[in-house]
Amino acid sequence: MIKTLVSPCSVVGFGSQKLKSCKKLKTRAVRMELTITQPDDWHLHLRDGDLLQAVVPHSASHFRRAIVMPNLKPPVTSTAAAITYRESIMKALPVGTSFDPLMTLYLTDKTQPQEIKLARESGVVYAVKLYPAGATTNSQDGVTDLFGKCLPVLEEMVKQNMPLLVHGEVTDPSIDVFDREKIFIETVLQPLIQRLPQLKVVMEHITTMDAVNFVESCKEGFVGATVTPQHLLLNRNALFQGGLQPHNYCLPVLKREIHREAIVKAVTSGSKKFFLGTDSAPHERRRKESSCGCAGIYSAPVALSLYAKVFDEAGALDKLEAFTSFNGPDFYGLPRNSSKITLKRAPWKVPEAFSFSFGDIIPMFAGETLQWQSFFE
């Protein structure tokens, strides 16, 4: 459905800091609805216990599949543990839901090549996640010696065509937090690709122009990247406007505006190397608003609305479906979904909070009005 509107001015900015930009009066066609293949989420945190029960319905109501992160306590380091975790997710799903969790293993210095063979044979494990030790939430058991202790595992992953999902940050405390992704690319990722060019690698939740340039320079089908709604819509000012904003704090941390713009340009270009990965990461409100607030933004209930916002504002709604629904399964060698979902331009207000017996979870853009809603066919 197309409707023509007159739009002389536009408002740009983040949060309370907005600027009005007026251009010559002109008429433009505005898309009112868009039906696309149902998306998948290629980077999702579902946690466990009460948090799992609380948040899994939000992802299941929008996405057909999701790559589920393994950074629990204790981490999911074995195929047996991944199978058990998947069973817990399936039990937590609403009745009648067709959501399919795709499991991952947490790579450690002690992971053995045989575990990769078991993972491939299981039919439920689809990737292995690299957390540099100390890089983010529950990463204390992560890798300390990638090119030494982990090399046999990486070589087996090539044989099994098992993707490596990378949290791309160095953890050296002498490196500025805003430079950790760039340094990781130079010191870890580029040497890794050179050493194992047939290894499939997903650079998760990219945040910089450097990451965009690196992914674009790599061979298609072997290196891809997931992109979150927060890194498309927010820059690092969003952490501090109106006071410290803990619900905009995530890792990797938000970056400068030039980096946000580069990421938007990349994902709306039509490139097959970038695909949807929310990195939706729920924490109870008291853990976010504490003296040492947890990293993570809860975007699952609003993610599709926000991605539509990005592509709409870039004049690239025709490229949204490939980003949300085609590029991810194509990279993983999985079939595209057959189900459909319709996005309609229908303003709605994001809840201030989602309340549960254990406390509140604050969603991304809480209390704000979004222009797109999703409906199943």
Q: What count of residues does the chain have?
A: 377
Q: Is 279 in the active site?
A: yes
Are 184 and 170 in contact by the 8 Å Cβ rule? The answer is: yes
Of 58, 205, 247, 273, the active-site residue reads 205
Of 41, 45, 247, 288, the active-site residue reads 45
Q: Is 259 in the active site?
A: no
Of 41, 100, 141, 279, the active-site residue reads 279
Are 206 and 228 in contact by the 8 Å Cβ rule? The answer is: no
Strands 340-349 and 369-376: antiparallel
State both tokens at 211: 């990451």
Of 167, 283, 288, 309, the active-site residue reads 167
Of 41, 58, 100, 129, the active-site residue reads 129
Q: Is 45 in the active site?
A: yes
Q: Is 129 in the active site?
A: yes
Q: What is the DSSP letter of 175?
A: S
CA 113 to centroid of chain Cα atoms:
27
Give helix 113-122 / helix 151-160 axis angle, nearest 10°: 30
Strands 17-22 and 9-14: antiparallel
Ramachandran assignment for 166, one of left (phi > 0), alpha (psi -120 to 50 degrees), beta (any other)? beta
DSSP string, 269-295: TT-TTEEE---B----HHHHSSTTPPP
Element spanning 231, H or E: helix 229-233
Query: If DSSP codes are grouped into helix, strand and coil, which group holds residue 355?
Result: strand
Q: What is the DSSP letter of 324?
A: I
Of 40, 43, 231, 255, the active-site residue reads 43
Residues designated as active site: 43, 45, 129, 167, 205, 279
